[in-house]
Amino acid sequence: MAAPPYPSGQRWILHLDMDAFFASVEVLDNPDLAGKPVIVGGEDRGVVSAASYPARAFGVRSGMPSAQARTLCPHGIFLRGRHGRYGEVSRLAMAALARFSPIMEQASVDEAYLDMTGMDSFLGPPEAMGRAVKEAVRQATGGLACSVGLAPVKFLAKIASDWNKPDGLFVLHPQAVEAFLMALPVGKIPGVGGKSEARLKQLGIRTVGDVRRLSASFYVREFGKWGQALWERAHGIDPRELVPHWDAKSEGAEVTLEHDTADRELLARHLYQQCLRVGRRLRKDGRMARTITLKLKDRDFKSVTRSRTVELPVASTDGLYEVAKCMLDKEKLSRPIRLIGVSASGFAVPPRQLSLFEDQDARREEERQALDKVLDGIEERFGRGAVLRGRALRGSRHKKEPPGEPRRRGEGLL
């Protein structure tokens, strides 16, 4: 039996990326969509969340304004996202991955790293490891494809997983790293964004080989702390270990309005709906947040964010809304708004004795959450929208319901 082309005990990091994840789940649930240009998140004035590969052939990409996507792909099938369903499938995929290694880092809903060092004794060479992982995920999810990359360090594994998409497998052996890096476009290095890539091109740096011509101190002067990481990655260095437990650093929700508006009552209604969505997820995960962030985007696509950190963490819809609404009230709104959103972060409960005043606030927040959880339970049993809260409609002169929250016949009004 021939010796493997790498030293004994070679470190192997595997990166898995689900292919066009949201769109692929939609095709999985509706096979009639197979082979068609499926675009998720394509509301008239929103942005694309995911695009199937047939849609990508027309130039559609995630993050693209949906109006542009419709121009590029007028026959595309535009679907509103079902994030609860995507989360369900993600959990199935991650559970399958966790059976291969005790050291797993979930990087997002559709990607993860595994430390596969030493697993070749059980699974065979890295190519066999990759095939085994891909097949396990395919079976666990009911047929979804993923792309896998294996390499000696973390950032190279991420590059490798993108090399043969879709449904790809690429193994970067240690003896091939040097030649691979020298010809690699610098924009392929994770962390090199559009602005930094443009600056590097101004400096005559287009490949990783070009990066190596200059010293680490040069890149630190140009890019600060990131410059040191750039130089290290150009030399194949990545000391980062995997973080076994991944937790979302924030929960957020936003909506692109059907019409630009500066009507504060209408904006408040939409803001409340987004607080409802964020609060529902916080309560489901047993989280409370201390930092609330308001996001606004005007008709000229200029974004503004405002954040406030509160002493008493909140997870109730009204608690989130009161903080976000206060920030909204202070904004001048010099231009009509096209998008409004809210996010919650700082998931921590202060381990200290509360004052009498704070204790009263804590009891009010506890009561609000108790009511919210009852309403959450009703919606879980009877479907989203089974209950409509009065604050979402109160005081509005507009008859039209907020996008994404249509009122259904027979709903309750609280």
Q: Give the tens place of pLDDT for each residue, 244-280.
A: 865 667 888 888 888 899 999 999 999 999 999 999 9
What is residue 89's DSSP assignment?
H
Last residue of a domain, one of 216, 246, 276: 246
What is residue 62's DSSP assignment?
T
What is the distance of C-alpha 43 from the center of its chain?
A: 18
Q: Give the tens place of pLDDT for each residue, 340-384.
A: 999 998 875 444 444 444 467 777 888 888 888 888 888 777 766
Q: List the pLDDT tens digit at each of the 414 positions of the chain.
A: 455 666 667 899 999 999 999 999 999 999 999 999 999 985 666 789 899 999 999 999 988 888 899 999 999 999 988 888 998 999 999 999 999 998 999 988 899 999 999 988 889 999 999 999 999 999 999 999 999 999 999 999 999 999 999 999 999 999 999 999 999 999 999 888 888 899 999 999 999 999 999 999 999 998 888 899 999 999 999 988 888 865 667 888 888 888 899 999 999 999 999 999 999 989 888 888 989 999 999 988 888 999 998 878 899 999 999 999 999 999 999 899 999 999 998 875 444 444 444 467 777 888 888 888 888 888 777 766 666 666 655 544 443 434 333 333 233 322
- The answer on 374 and 238 residing in a single domain is no
Q: 256: which strand partners?
A: 339
Side chain identity at residue 245, one-letter code: H
Across 56-135, the runs of DSSP E, i.e. the strands, are: 77-79, 104-108, 111-115
Write the CATH number for 202.
1.10.150.20
Write the CATH number for 46.
3.30.70.270
Using CA atoms of 60, 66, 67, 72 in order, give the dihedral in degrees to the nearest 10: 10
54 and 38 Cβ atoms separated by less than 8 Å: yes
The structural domain count of the chain equals: 3
- The answer on 160 and 21 residing in a single domain is yes
- The answer on 199 and 163 residing in a single domain is no
- The answer on 33 and 11 residing in a single domain is yes
- The answer on 144 and 99 residing in a single domain is yes
Last residue of a domain, one of 138, 159, 175: 175
- The answer on 260 and 398 residing in a single domain is yes
What is the distance of C-alpha 8 from the center of its chain?
A: 37
- The answer on 118 and 51 residing in a single domain is yes
- The answer on 242 and 254 residing in a single domain is no
- The answer on 267 and 218 residing in a single domain is no
Return d(Cα 282, Cα 289) in angstroms, integer. 8
For residue 370, give the nearest of 321, 316, 333, 302 by alpha carbon.
316
Write the CATH number for 362.
3.30.1490.100
169 and 160 Cβ atoms separated by less than 8 Å: no
- The answer on 139 and 10 residing in a single domain is yes
Last residue of a domain, one of 175, 208, 230: 175
Q: Is 402 exposed, middle or buried (0-12, 13-18, 19+ CB in 10 A)?
A: buried
- The answer on 269 and 229 residing in a single domain is no
- The answer on 255 and 236 residing in a single domain is no
Element (DSSP H or E) covering residue 356: helix 356-382
**Entry pTM:** 0.69
Return d(Cα 384, Cα 374) in angstroms, integer. 13
Host domain of residue 201: 183-246
Active site residues: 111
Which letter, b or e, does each residue of 308-336 get, where b requires 16 or more Cβ atoms within 10 Å of its Cβ?
A: eebebbbbbbbbbbebbbebbeeeeeeee
